[in-house]
Structure 1
């Protein structure tokens, strides 16, 4: 079954191990193939933009997804999630879902679950900032 893709002007997409950059007009095309990793530009994190623990997990899963040998990222990934679960045990259900998808080879679904981890991290940060105003060092200790 083919995947229909529409790219905005100058938008990029990863298909397999290739980066496709659109020109200055909208483009529509079909991608045919089994198990071809596809990532739109809006879903791609770089080492520079992976600036939180959850985003680093997403980056590790993303690298697994686009890699011909996903296991090369397993060590990095499992070290990151161990640190997160130690610091925030309530993140375990999300991480367990990511782990299960990685182990079953469904890396696209693992990537989607990693997005949930980023959203959870954002929620926790917002809650913390709401209860600990900037400059209030005494309540953060």
Structure 2
């Protein structure tokens, strides 16, 4: 089964660790063999990984696209997951457990996708904190 990709002008794409940037026009292509692929909006950058769940997602992405850096990324994933497990409520803790099981199975893309609900939940909490802090000022 192949993967069809459509890219916007200037959109980034990572395939098996190689960073590609689309030119000035829309493009589409098909990946016909197995490849580790991250598309534009999925790609986290170190400068935006400012919260625990985003840091976890970034390290999972590193493990996915950079086999040379995978061992260190796995150490970081373990550290971040241990930190997160102490503060997450039961339902989010189960999501984290799913992420860790996928990482341990070497299913890094699936682990990344499973991290997205944690990031969204964290974003909601951070927004509430900012709103509460703004109301208190």
TM-score scaled by length of structure 2 = 0.87
Query: Which protein shows a greater Rg?
Result: 1
CA deviation map 1:109-135 (0-9, x unaligned): 1000111110111233344456x3426
Structure 2: runs of 5+ lacking an equivalent: none
Which residue in 2 is equivalent to 1:84? Answer: 84
CA deviation map 1:16-54 (0-9, x unaligned): 1211211111111111222x1101111111110111111
Structure 1: runs of 5+ lacking an equivalent: none
Which residue in 1 is equivalent to 2:10? Answer: 10
Distance 1:73 1:133 in 2: 34
| Aligned residue runs from structure 1 range 50-69, under 5 A | 50-69=49-68
Which residue in 2 is equivalent to 1:122? Answer: 123
Distance 1:68 1:32 in 2: 21
What value does the CA root-mean-square deviation take over the aligned residues?
Answer: 1.9
1:102 partnered with 2:103: yes
Which residue in 1 is equivalent to 2:41? Answer: 42
| Secondary structure of 1:74 counterpart | helix
| Secondary structure of 2:67 counterpart | coil
Which residue in 1 is equivalent to 2:113? Answer: 112
